[in-house]
Structures are given as C-alpha cells and as structure tokens.
Chains A and B, each alone.
Chain A
Amino acid sequence: MTALLVAGAGTDAADEPRRRRGGLLSSILHSRKALVGFFIFFVFTVAAIVPQLFTSVKDPNALQFTPALPPSGDHLLGTTALGQDIWAQLIYGTRESLIIAVVAGLFATVLSVLVGVSSAYLGGIADDVLSMITNIFLVIPTFPLIIIFATYAGKGTLLVVLIVLVVTGWSYGANQLRAQTLSLRNRDFLESARVRGERRSYIIVAEVLPTMISLIVANFLGAALYSVLTAAGLQFLGLGNPNSISWGTMLYWSQNQQALQTGMPLWSIAPGLCVALLGTSFALMNYAFDEISNPALRPVRRRRVKRKRTSPAGH
C-alpha cells in the first residue's frame, strides 16, 4: 500500500525527471517542529558565543551582589544565596553545556559509526566480536557506571565528564547503524561496487556511509540530547567541577543551598528549564531529520478533496 502514499500514480516510478528545489533548507522551513528546534538552538548558540550581548556582568561566579535578591530590573532572575546574578550565570553557563552536547555527541557518534557500520559490513567473526562489545556497553547500567568512573577519575573536570559521556553513549547508536547497514548489505549498488573491483574499505566509507547520512545526523542529535541531560545529572550530583559555570553546577549549588525551600526557586528552576529547552531543541531537530529522510513519516495532508456531485444515472 505504500504506493498509495506516494504522490503520482502506479506502483513503480516511471516519472519524468524532475529537479527538487531547495532540498534540506526548504524541508526545514516547511516543518514547524524543525523551525522551533533550530530557533531555540540558534538562540543558545548566540548566547554561548557572545554572552556579553545578554548580560553586563563580567564574572558570573564572583560573589559581588547582595545575596538572595528577588528578580528585578538589575537582576532579571534575582541573585543566588552567595550573591551571584542568576541570569548572568545562566547565560555564561550556556557555553559549557553546548560544548558538552556537541563534543560528546560528536565523538559518541563517530564511535557508533565506526563500530556499527564495520561490524555489519565485515560480518563473520568481526561482527560477532564487535556486536558483543556493543551489547556489553549497552546493557551495563549507565548511571552507576558513570558514578563509579567519575569518582574513580578523581577531580571532575570537563574532560572526565566528556569521556564518561562518550563511553556510555555510543552503544545505542552503534546498534542502530549496524541494523541499517545490514539491511543495505545486499543492495545491488553495493554488489555493483564489489563487482567493479572496489576495495572493502572504500565501499564502507564511500558507498555505504553516504546513504546513511540522515541516520547518522539523527544519531548525533540523539547523542547530544543524551549528553546534555546526563551531564546535568552528573554535575547535579557533584561529580562535575563545582567551580565551573554551567547549568548543572547551578543545579548543584542551588540544591546545596536549598534554594527551593528558602525562597529562591528561580535559582533551581532556571537552569533546569534551560537543560530541558536545549534537550527539546535537539529532539525537535531530530524529528525534522526523520521526516526529511523518510517521506513516509511526513504528516499526511488530509485536505478535504473537493467532490463533484455524482450524476444520478450513468451516461
């Protein structure tokens, strides 16, 4: 029945050549979810690059203001129990959170691709070994592992957090990519490349990967989402660097100082909201890529097709 969901009649396509204009950009513009996601991400990116645009405070961690002030013109979200401007911390904290999301997401994806695609394409013993490794990492409960690893590593620097996120975040994507590569393995164009005499490494990199770009991007967004949330969690538990400026650290200190109970709710709520917003933007962008790469997922237009009056008797 898929034939009926594709515009144009008939089962196989025998249509005239038609250029599709715009491609990615136009698809994004057409999808409301994508637009919202990209917009949020864009705002955060600007805040990370030029925080000075949003706040006049130079050093958000300095204890320079009156503690526990409510929101006002000078301090949009008030101040912390230690005398820091919450809004400024929020803005400057964007940088670290974004770095974590993008860098950890990127490395986790690279690892997923390497392991997942190779194991499917090479098959045999290589597949067995790599699959086993993937499944082990997949099954290990992540949070206990994270906690153990982070504690063992001692000081919770940014690097440690990143390593932990990559090590725990790559296996899910690897399984997905392996499944997708397996389904591609016997496609004629790959056999055509083999018959042409191409080397295996060339086939994996130049023939298989390009067809999976949308899946890889989706994987990246998923990994970034995972990193944002997990990093915030780690830092909240105190496993990050308590002196850094980030949303997770704000959550840590606000909990430490019992912000919710002592009348400074914004100190907890604001960073939590930002974490959620950034995560949501990744999820929305993920939806958009799904729809772009798989037309079957696009919302079907249920326009009321105009019906002409049926004539009572035939011709």
Chain B
Amino acid sequence: MSSASAPVLQVTDLTVEYATDGPGVRAVDGVNLQVHKGEFVGVVGESGCGKSTMLFAIAQLLSPPAAITDGSVVFNGQNLVTMTEKQLNVLRWRDYSVVMQSAMNALSPVSNIGAQFKDALEAHGSFNKREITERSTEVLALVGIDRIHLKSYPHQLSGGMRQRAMIAMALLFTPELVIMDEPTSALDVVAQRSLMVQIRELQRTLGFAVVFVTHDMSLVSHFSDQLLVMYAGQVVEAGPTRTVFDRPAHPYSRGLLDAFPSIRGPRVRLTGIPGSPPDLGRPPTGCRFHERCSVAMEECSTTVPDLYPVGDVASRCLLHRPAEVTA
C-alpha cells in the first residue's frame, strides 16, 4: 500500500481500561498509530484525554487497575502486548526507551548521574567499567553536557540539563524508538525550544523515531512530521503536522488551536472551549465532543463517528462522513 518500509511501531485498536467497582473506565479507546523509521509523531491533547495512558500502554508499563483490554502494539513485527516480562526485557532500552515527564521524579535523587547510567547499562547488557564510562560520556556529549557531570546529583543540575540527561539516558543503546511523555513541560520557553531543537538534531544523526506526547500544540508545530489530536480517549484528528495546523478539520482541533493567544498578529478576544472534558466513567452518547462543540448537529448525540479521511488528514467528525451512496 505505502511506498515506505514497514513501520517501526504499529498500534492497532489499542484499548486501555481501568477496573473500578462499577463498569470499568476506558481511558484509551481504539487508538491506531503508525510510526516509521526516523519519524517524529506528536500526540497532543489536554488533561484526561488518555495520551499519557496510551504512551504507558505502548511501553507496556501499565499497572493494575489499568490494563490493555484490546488491540495490539506491534514493534518491528512483534506484538508487545502478548509478550512476557522476560521477552520484553530483551527489547527494553535496547530497542525502545522512555523519557518521563519530570526528570526530578524520574531520576533518583540519591545517586549521581553516572551511577544511574551505569544501572541502566548493566540492566540490559554486561559491560566493564571502561565501556560504561565511555558510553556514558558519549551520550552526555550528544546532548551537550560536560562529562564532569557524571559525578553530579540531579538536584545540582538545572531543569534543562536534567531533562537532557534523561534523554541521554534514553539513548544509551541507540534505540530505534524513543517515547517521550511531556519532557518539556517543566521548562521555560527558551529551554523548551533548545531541547526540541536538540531532539530533532539527534534524530537526524542517530535515526531514531520519536513519539512525543504534550498538551502544548504549538510546541510540536515545527518539529513533528505527523500529529495526532486526542480527546476523551480517542484520536479525533490525525495527519501531517502542517495540514493539521493550517487546516484543522475537527472542531476540537480548531478550538484548541484558537485557544492559544499569539504574540504576533492582532489582539482578539478568544473564547477557548466551553465546558470541561467528559467523565470517562460515563462517556456521552454519540460523539464524545458534541456537548462542547459549536457546530454540533442533532445526530451527533446519537451516532458515534468513525475516523473519516479529509484530504490527507483523518477526522472523527460526522461533518466529514462520506455521503452515502444510495443504490
């Protein structure tokens, strides 16, 4: 079908449920995602849309009461969902790695950076001391941190440096895929931009693919190839980044883009999106966005829309439903 080689990551129909006393809560509902070699895929959405849960599901890091109840996560031809912990450990960090949201939470405060790199290296291979130091220095240099910081503790580094150390750690084995969960949210705008540029450069040099989850749509606008917009556990729009930005098809994407005040151009009063995201324990009938949608039709409360193609993006909105061909 496509001319590109097989995707590095193919997520099909992924569904994650949280077991509760009553009916379970579906945090992620039938998500499809494809990542090719060297591609940067951005996943944007607000709190509660399920993007972080989906990321953890892909990385097979969910704990009870959350569990994957449907779908597959095929990484280089193998379905991660059906693999055992032992089989997963072979892949972890070597073939794919994860960068967490807050480095202060993910890095151990009681060991220095060098020790943590050593732990990561030894957990997935056997190396002697010289090899460990060499590789640690190498990855730190990749992100622009001086080797002297191998002896530093996380609290001695600035926020930006910590985050870059996390990224360095994720690159220890030069994996094919790096999954990032909001790695820039704790940083200031200058540090954020610097980090994004760095990630893009590393991608070009080392050739890994990135799945990047964030709530800040404008941040990924210059860096991602593909963009997915999530709402209430579903993907509501997906396509090439530029198209989604220039001509957002789904009313939610449009509302989200409009909610970012710009510093150039005229000053206009914006309205944001009224209301708040739905309770996933009792999702609305029909389209999950219809209660907050400014262009909702009557049907929207009863019919569940699929993802329909609109030019080169796909949009989960009845407005884009292809006309039925009457016989």
CB-based nearest A residue for B182: A11
Other-chain residue from B15, B62, B79, B277 in contact with A4 (beta carbon distance below 8 A): B62
A15-B279, A16-B279, A305-B17 are contacts. A7–B65 as well, Cβ < 8 Å?
yes
The size of the chain A interface, using a CB distance under 8 A, is 27
B246-262 Cβ-contact flags toward A at 8 Å (1 or 0): 00000000000000000
Task: Determine the chain A residues whose CB is within 8 A of the CB of B21 once the complex forms.
Answer: 301
Q: Which of B25-33, B116-124, B204-212, B292-300 contacts A (4 or more CB under 8 A)?
A: B25-33
Q: Is the CB of A16 within 8 A of B52?
A: no
Question: How far, in whole Å, are A236 and B68 apart by their CA atoms in the complex?
Answer: 58
Task: Determine the chain A residues whose CB is within 8 A of the CB of B68 once the complex forms.
Answer: 307
A1-31 Cβ-contact flags toward B at 8 Å (1 or 0): 1011101111111111010000000000000
A302 within 8 A of B: yes
Task: Determine the chain A residues whose CB is within 8 A of the CB of B3 once the complex forms.
Answer: none
Task: Determine the chain B residues whose CB is within 8 A of the CB of A14 once the complex forms.
Answer: 46-48, 276-277
CB-based nearest A residue for B50: A9
Q: Which of A302, A305, A314 has the most CB of B within 10 A?
A: A305
Least Cβ distance of B259 to chain A in Å?
14
Other-chain residue from B10, B12, B48, B64 in contact with A10 (beta carbon distance below 8 A): B48
Q: Is the CB of B53 within 8 A of A7?
A: no
Task: Determine the chain A residues whose CB is within 8 A of the CB of B279 once the complex forms.
Answer: 8, 15-16, 18
The size of the chain B interface, using a CB distance under 8 A, is 46
Q: Is the CB of A5 within 8 A of B48?
A: no
Least Cβ distance of A9 to chain B in Å?
3
Question: How far, in whole Å, are A111 and B32 apart by their CA atoms in the complex?
Answer: 60
Q: Is the CB of B64 within 8 A of A300?
A: yes
Task: Determine the chain A residues whose CB is within 8 A of the CB of B38 once the complex forms.
Answer: none
Task: Determine the chain A residues whose CB is within 8 A of the CB of B67 once the complex forms.
Answer: 305
In chain B, residues 102-131, which have Cβ atoms closer than 8 Å to a Cβ of chain A? none
B171 within 8 A of A: no
CB-based nearest A residue for B28: A9
Q: Is the CB of A301 within 8 A of B64?
A: yes
Task: Determine the chain A residues whose CB is within 8 A of the CB of B48 once the complex forms.
Answer: 8-10, 12-15
Question: How far, in whole Å, are A192 and B301 apart by their CA atoms in the complex?
Answer: 43
Question: How far, in whole Å, are A301 and B217 apart by their CA atoms in the complex?
Answer: 36
Q: Which of B69-77, B83-91, B172-180, B194-202 contacts A (4 or more CB under 8 A)?
A: B69-77
B144 within 8 A of A: no
Task: Determine the chain B residues whose CB is within 8 A of the CB of A9 once the complex forms.
Answer: 18, 25, 27-28, 48-50, 52-53, 233, 280
- 16 inter-chain pairs at a CB distance below 8 angstroms, sorted by A residue, are A4-B56, A7-B20, A8-B27, A9-B27, A9-B49, A10-B53, A11-B47, A14-B48, A14-B277, A15-B48, A16-B279, A18-B279, A305-B17, A305-B24, A307-B68, A310-B79
List chain A positions with a Cβ less than 8 A from chain B: 1, 3-5, 7-16, 18, 300-303, 305-308, 310-311, 314-315
Q: Which 4 A-B pairs have the closest CB atoms?
A: A9-B27, A10-B48, A314-B12, A308-B70
